[in-house]
Structure 1
Amino acid sequence: MEETTEKEYGNGNGNGVTKRDISPAPVASVIDGMDAQYYKVDDAPATKKIKLNDTESPTVDARDKGIARIKPEFLIPKPGKSTILAPPDDDDAEAGGTKRKKERGQNKNRRFAKAREVLKFCESLKDGEGTCKFGNDCKFEHDVAKYISSKPADLDGTCPVFDAIGFCPSGLKCRWLHSHYIVEAGKLLVDEDKKVKSGREINRIDRDTQNTLQKKKFPVPKSDQILPYLDALKEHDTKEQNTFNSEVKTEEDEQKEKKDLAATYIEPPFLPSEKRPLNLHHAKILSPLTTVGNLPFRRLCRWFGADVTYSEMALALPLLQGSKSEWALPRSHTSEIPRFGVQIAAPKIWQAVKATEVLASACETQISGIQDFNLNCGCPIDLIYRSGAGSALLDSASKLVRMLKGMNYVSGEVPVTAKIRMGTRDNHPNAKKLVTRLVNEGDVAAITLHGRSRQQRYTRVADWNYISETAEIVRDMYEAKDENNKEQRERRKVWFIGNGDCYSWRDWWDGVEKYNVDSVMIARGALIKPWIFEEIDAKQYLDKSATERLDMIRKFAHFGLEHWGSDEYGINNCRRFLCEFLSFSCRYVPVGILEVMPPKIQDRPPMWRGRNELETLLGSGDYKDWIKISEMFLGPVHESFDFKPKHKSNAYDAEG
């Protein structure tokens, strides 16, 4: 819980794909007919590249703590009131909502109404062909002419989905039906050439697989084999912990006992050195993000140059139960291949292991549909933590080790990775000790460390010094491996990734050059400005014009229509997730109006206006403005649509 009509994706780092032209398409046609005064873009500046050197960079003293200083000519005075915008609650950026008591202005348990047709048309006939197996007993409409006449007037222009992939999966239900339907012939158009060449979504499961999962009949032979061993390993660890023995066992004795337990295997597991290689050296990585890290947003980030993307966090148990909504999360677009990972969270070892095996066998791992299985060990929200998943695993190291060992056994050639935090409590970080153990066990191909504790959530800056110290431990362990020991000699490097407060190209390069990590994973920085991946390549701040940013929103909307559909239901979904995206992107302060550089993710600006009215609109924190922006690309709001912003107490009600 993706992407493009476009071009060949790539990163220019030898991954077999070439970087394409990313020049923005004109948006003048989108704005035609809109309120010229409100959406004036004639004075929108061209993209500027602002390059900072050491002599130009202001001193730390020039920066007011926590405040993004704006050039005086762009400030909006508000006498008698604080002009500094309140910091938003970013718990949802990584893991959805939170249940803390002192939330201000959050809408809990949000519900979104589904679009309802005046006349419900039978799904079996939406492609204009086929027959309904229920015949006259079907409760839905079968008369095509009657259904089309009951629909609202089509939206202007060409169907973005048909234009992108050569056909429209929404069929007769499409809101741009006139652009790909011949009324006289009663036939939907198909561009076969474009259909063959266009990208597609993968990692889907069919109805039979879903039914098998729901009936608990999906075969998991590897899990059935490894789980008894993991239980025995737990008993062994418990016995060692509870038994007082004056005779201290050597490390050799410990390894021998574990090998005896491992001898119960029918077939040996893949060693990390035998799995598909994972190369994260200086890779530009988009973090797993809940809600806003959906497929269309990931496509957008790929378009801007992201090398690696991850699915939204999927819960293991709903995956095993065949939940349709949960299985939508591992779905990816071919533009994300071959560097796409699936993140899962689980409170129980058997859930994580079985979910990994199901994903490995049901998804297209053989064509590199999944790069790695990432275990979430850092989610801070109460719902996940109290269940024993996410960051709760940081306090159960032995359980975490067994979980990763089991996932590594059942994942076949696909490597296993982990994402952790510094610890659960501010004053008791345990990541160094945990990382040392994970590297020694040899079951993970990469570890990502978020430089905050669970208790911190997103308050205060990330501790990159701690990340650097942990990175040194991993590096030293790799360099100190015993070349005479076959197992250590064949052990691959464990990639170590830093995460936290990466908002600019300077933050990213500082991570890899000053803090010794192999790469930096980007989360909120990409939500606020997805072109951060371009900045990293260019090593420059890119002052995107308002028209370029509007074109970015257009791309997201079109990617969303491909993903959710171009019928009213799909448009409502796309509009909702576009508004979620705009709730982050509106926080971007153009570098051209900043008085002090570099920008920091934790800084909040005073009230400001843009260099033109469109730029001001794109910086609006009012959700009603987000809906106005969505109407540029998705048409007028349907009467069934409502949107409750996460940090507002009132909801939007469509005007009838």
Structure 2
Amino acid sequence: MNIGNFHIENKLMLAPMAGVTDLAFRIICKEMGVGLTVTEMVSVKGIYYKDKKTDSLTTIDPRERPVSLQIFGSEPDIMAHVARENLNDRKDIDLIDINMGCPAPKIVKNGDGSALMKDPKLAARLIKSVVDASNKPVTVKIRKGWDKDSINGVEIAKIAEDSGAAAVTVHARTRDMFYSGEADWDYIASVKCALKIPVIGNGDIFKAQDALLMMERTGCDGVAIGRGAMGNPWIFRQINQLLEGKNPDKPSPAEVLETSIRHMNMVCEFKGERIGVREMRKQLAWYIKGMKNSNEIKNRINTMEDKNEIESLLKEYLQNLIEDDNLQEAL
């Protein structure tokens, strides 16, 4: 798949999620076969004013590339300045994505994220300002609309194309739906029919077969997967296997738990143990969800502060799972 003059080796993207798609998780998803990783969304004002926390969100590792840096803001001049002065010289960033889909109240109350869909003229100025200032392809993430009375995703997508965007990602829900209800895949098809640039579908891909079904139903050029990858980065490997005509393989308990331990160790390496352990609690719960006695293990992890203690618990848990499996086979 080509986005502007940039080639991505397959049709799969990791959708950005605040507090989830950090550096460690992006590296793991890349290893599992995602074509393009996307950072957590980054405030252009944070970059502009050199905020240290914001700066850490822009850290890129060669192992995750190609990577798109997702930015948010609502002031065209600042967006353009950051693209030109802060991002153009970054050889580690391959694309820039403008967030116009985030539904979080703290984002939209400032006119950012999906609030931009209520102001098409501002959206056009903002996208064009970044495109004109950037030496990298610029993409835009949108929603179906603000609410059921303001469905304008096709209009905004065409504005993005006319303003020079290289691709558009469509989360097929309105802002007021947040992540509830069903994603309207038919609306993704409507956007695809209206544009010449690539359209990436997003929403309700929770298993590998969903990705192929979305592409078949909508004609979209690629898929972006967010919540479906939480605790399940293997979804990218499985989709690629299906696209190659192979049967997707399910990760073993050993692969799941060993990956979760490596994930935790990387987060602790990047962020320090205190922050890393606390942030990984939710991630570890996602990894083991559905396994035998997983609630008990999750509750124990939530009381722990030492990564070595958590690692020992997970290794013990794996051994118990293996022993239980062997016992069942012997019966």
Alpha-carbon displacement from aligned partner over 1:130-176 (angstroms, at most 9, x marks no partner): xxxxxxxxxxxxxxxxxxxxxxxxxxxxxxxxxxxxxxxxxxxxxxx
The secondary structure found in structure 2 opposite 1:520 is strand
Compared CA separation, residues 445 and 620, structure 1 to 2 (3 A): farther
Q: Residue type matched to 2:150 in 1?
A: H
Q: Residue type matched to 2:158 in 1?
A: T
Q: Give the equivalent residue in structure 2 for 1:454.
A: 175
Match status 1:421 vs 2:175: no
Q: Give the equivalent residue in structure 1 for 2:287.
A: 585
In the alignment, the residues of structure 2 paired with residue 620 and residue 554 of structure 1 have an alpha-carbon distance, to the nearest angstrom, of 18
Q: Give the equivalent residue in structure 2 for 1:297.
A: 25
The secondary structure found in structure 1 opposite 2:174 is coil
Structure 2 residues without counterparts, runs of 5 or longer: 314-331
Task: Report the structure, 1 or 2, having the larger helix content.
Answer: 2
In the alignment, the residues of structure 1 paired with residue 230 and residue 177 of structure 2 have an alpha-carbon distance, to the nearest angstrom, of 20
Percent identity (aligned): 25
Q: Residue type matched to 1:624 in 2?
A: R
In the alignment, the residues of structure 2 paired with residue 306 and residue 618 of structure 1 have an alpha-carbon distance, to the nearest angstrom, of 27
Deviation at 1:585, TM superposition (A): 3.2
Q: Residue type matched to 1:582 in 2?
A: L
Alpha-carbon displacement from aligned partner over 1:594-642 (angstroms, at most 9, x marks no partner): xxxxxxxxxxxxxxxxxxxxx3244558443455695445679xxxxxx
Q: Give the equivalent residue in structure 2 for 1:466.
A: 187
Aligned length: 308
Contact 2:100 2:143 in 1 (8 A): yes
Deviation at 1:440, TM superposition (A): 2.8
Contact 2:32 2:237 in 1 (8 A): yes
Q: Residue type matched to 1:430 in 2?
A: N
Question: Over the residues paired in the alignment, what is the CA RMSD in angstroms?
Answer: 2.4
Deviation at 1:464, TM superposition (A): 0.4
Q: Give the equivalent residue in structure 1 for 2:259.
A: 552
Contact 2:185 2:218 in 1 (8 A): yes
The partner residue of 1:373 within 89, 96, 100 is 96
Deviation at 1:571, TM superposition (A): 1.2
The partner residue of 2:85 within 348, 355, 358 is 358
The partner residue of 1:403 within 105, 126, 135 is 126
Deviation at 1:516, TM superposition (A): 0.2
Q: Residue type matched to 1:354 in 2?
A: H
The secondary structure found in structure 1 opposite 2:177 is coil
Alignment of 1:386-401 (within 5 A): 386-401=109-124
Contact 1:579 1:630 in 2 (8 A): no
Contact 1:426 1:456 in 2 (8 A): no
Contact 2:260 2:287 in 1 (8 A): no
Alignment of 1:31-180 (within 5 A): none
Q: Give the equivalent residue in structure 1 for 2:323.
A: none
Structure 1 residues without counterparts, runs of 5 or longer: 1-12, 16-271, 479-493, 565-569, 590-614, 637-656
Scaled by the length of structure 2, the TM-score of the pair is 0.86
Compared CA separation, residues 277 and 620, structure 1 to 2 (3 A): farther
Deviation at 1:512, TM superposition (A): 1.8
In the alignment, the residues of structure 1 paired with residue 295 and residue 256 of structure 2 have an alpha-carbon distance, to the nearest angstrom, of 11
Contact 1:345 1:376 in 2 (8 A): yes
Q: Give the equivalent residue in structure 1 for 2:218.
A: 515
The partner residue of 1:503 within 196, 206, 211 is 206
Alignment of 1:626-645 (within 5 A): 626=302, 630-632=307-309
Q: Give the equivalent residue in structure 2 for 1:236.
A: none
Q: Residue type matched to 1:551 in 2?
A: E
Q: Give the equivalent residue in structure 2 for 1:307.
A: 35
Contact 2:257 2:288 in 1 (8 A): no
Match status 1:321 vs 2:23: no
Alpha-carbon displacement from aligned partner over 1:105-153 (angstroms, at most 9, x marks no partner): xxxxxxxxxxxxxxxxxxxxxxxxxxxxxxxxxxxxxxxxxxxxxxxxx
In the alignment, the residues of structure 2 paired with residue 387 and residue 520 of structure 1 have an alpha-carbon distance, to the nearest angstrom, of 29
Contact 1:283 1:307 in 2 (8 A): yes
Q: Give the equivalent residue in structure 1 for 2:277.
A: 575
Alpha-carbon displacement from aligned partner over 1:433-485 (angstroms, at most 9, x marks no partner): 221232233x10010000000000011011101111211121xxx3xxxxxxx
Alpha-carbon displacement from aligned partner over 1:221-263 (angstroms, at most 9, x marks no partner): xxxxxxxxxxxxxxxxxxxxxxxxxxxxxxxxxxxxxxxxxxx
Q: Residue type matched to 2:132 in 1?
A: Y
In the alignment, the residues of structure 2 paired with residue 362 and residue 324 of structure 1 have an alpha-carbon distance, to the nearest angstrom, of 19
Q: Which has the larger radius of gyration?
A: 1
Q: Give the equivalent residue in structure 2 for 1:616.
A: 292
Q: Residue type matched to 1:341 in 2?
A: S
Higher relative contact order (CA 8 A, sep 6+): 1
Contact 2:185 2:217 in 1 (8 A): no
Compared CA separation, residues 281 and 446, structure 1 to 2 (3 A): farther
Compared CA separation, residues 527 and 571, structure 1 to 2 (3 A): same
In the alignment, the residues of structure 2 paired with residue 281 and residue 471 of structure 1 have an alpha-carbon distance, to the nearest angstrom, of 21
Q: Residue type matched to 1:402 in 2?
A: R
In the alignment, the residues of structure 1 paired with residue 126 and residue 162 of structure 2 have an alpha-carbon distance, to the nearest angstrom, of 15
In the alignment, the residues of structure 1 paired with residue 95 and residue 32 of structure 2 have an alpha-carbon distance, to the nearest angstrom, of 22
The partner residue of 2:269 within 551, 555, 562 is 562
Scaled by the length of structure 1, the TM-score of the pair is 0.45
In the alignment, the residues of structure 1 paired with residue 23 and residue 16 of structure 2 have an alpha-carbon distance, to the nearest angstrom, of 11
Q: Residue type matched to 1:572 in 2?
A: R
Alpha-carbon displacement from aligned partner over 1:575-602 (angstroms, at most 9, x marks no partner): 1221131243344x4xxxxxxxxxxxxx
Contact 2:169 2:201 in 1 (8 A): yes
Contact 1:391 1:454 in 2 (8 A): yes
In the alignment, the residues of structure 2 paired with residue 393 and residue 467 of structure 1 have an alpha-carbon distance, to the nearest angstrom, of 19
Compared CA separation, residues 496 and 280, structure 1 to 2 (3 A): farther
Contact 2:139 2:167 in 1 (8 A): yes
Contact 2:268 2:276 in 1 (8 A): yes
Compared CA separation, residues 620 and 350, structure 1 to 2 (3 A): farther
Contact 1:586 1:620 in 2 (8 A): no
Contact 1:341 1:372 in 2 (8 A): yes
Alpha-carbon displacement from aligned partner over 1:332-364 (angstroms, at most 9, x marks no partner): 111122x1010011022222112222332452x
Task: Report the structure, 1 or 2, having the larger strand content.
Answer: 2
Match status 1:284 vs 2:28: no
In the alignment, the residues of structure 1 paired with residue 218 and residue 170 of structure 2 have an alpha-carbon distance, to the nearest angstrom, of 12
The secondary structure found in structure 2 opposite 1:455 is helix
Contact 1:341 1:374 in 2 (8 A): yes
The partner residue of 1:524 within 227, 230, 248 is 227
Deviation at 1:376, TM superposition (A): 0.3
